[in-house]
């Protein structure tokens, strides 16, 4: 039970920092030698990022904070089989470049060790049929 609580706390901290655009808060959770991967689809092309070590993936996190604003976060499910966890979440992602907001489904696969994320893979896709949000939902 302690392991589930620890995994849940780490997922919640990571997501809270991500939604807040808190680069330091995100980086603090990762092991220095961690593996970081993101794969998914944007509106017009696939996206794939893979980096080994915080030094390599910190610039990717910084770019995500600068370009995207997240809102209406919802953790839909969390499965923990220590030391691994799977988080399914939904968020509205606003591109500061295009001005478009898209509701997006994400799945995070995490491996935890010694209070840090040592392996992180994120898969994301815009929700089918959701498209851009009406202006009244944008922040």
Residue 137 domain flag: no
Measured in whole angstroms, how far is the alpha carbon of residue 47 from the centre of its chain?
14
Residue 139 domain flag: no
Burial class (CB in 10 A: 0-12, 13-18, 19+), 74: exposed
Token pair, residue 119, equals 């392996």
Distance CA 34, CA 111 (A): 9
Can you give the residue range of the structural domain that contains 51?
2-129
Q: pLDDT of 17-54, one tens digit each?
A: 999 999 999 999 999 999 999 999 876 778 899 999 99
pLDDT of residue 43: 65
Residue 136 domain flag: no
Token pair, residue 130, equals 């959701």
Distance CA 71, CA 40 (A): 19
Overall number of domains in the chain? 1
Residue 134 domain flag: no
pLDDT of residue 2: 78
Distance CA 27, CA 13 (A): 11
Distance CA 38, CA 69 (A): 17
Strands 30-41 and 46-52, by their bridges, are antiparallel
Per DSSP (E only), the strands in 1-139 are: 30-41, 46-52, 68-81, 84-95, 101-113, 116-126
3-class secondary structure, 138: coil
Looking up residue 34, the CATH number of its domain turns out to be 3.10.450.50
Report residues of the chain scoring pLDDT below 50. 131-139
pLDDT of residue 41: 82
pLDDT of residue 93: 93
Measured in whole angstroms, how far is the alpha carbon of residue 1 from the centre of its chain?
24
């Amino acid at each position: 039970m302690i392991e589930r609580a620890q995994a849940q706390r780490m997922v919640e901290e990571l997501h809270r920092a991500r939604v807040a655009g808190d680069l330091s808060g995100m980086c603090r959770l990762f092991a220095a030698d961690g593996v970081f991967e993101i794969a998914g689809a944007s509106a017009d092309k696939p996206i794939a990022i893979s980096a080994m070590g915080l030094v390599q993936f910190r610039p990717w996190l910084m770019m995500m904070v600068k370009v995207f604003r997240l809102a209406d976060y919802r953790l839909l499910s969390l499965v923990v089989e220590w030391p691994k966890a799977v988080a399914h979440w939904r968020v509205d992602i606003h591109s500061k470049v295009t001005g478009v907001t898209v509701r997006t489904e994400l799945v995070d696969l995490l491996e935890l060790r010694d209070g840090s994320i040592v392996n992180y893979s994120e898969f994301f896709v815009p929700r089918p049929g959701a498209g851009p949000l009406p202006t009244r939902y944008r922040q």
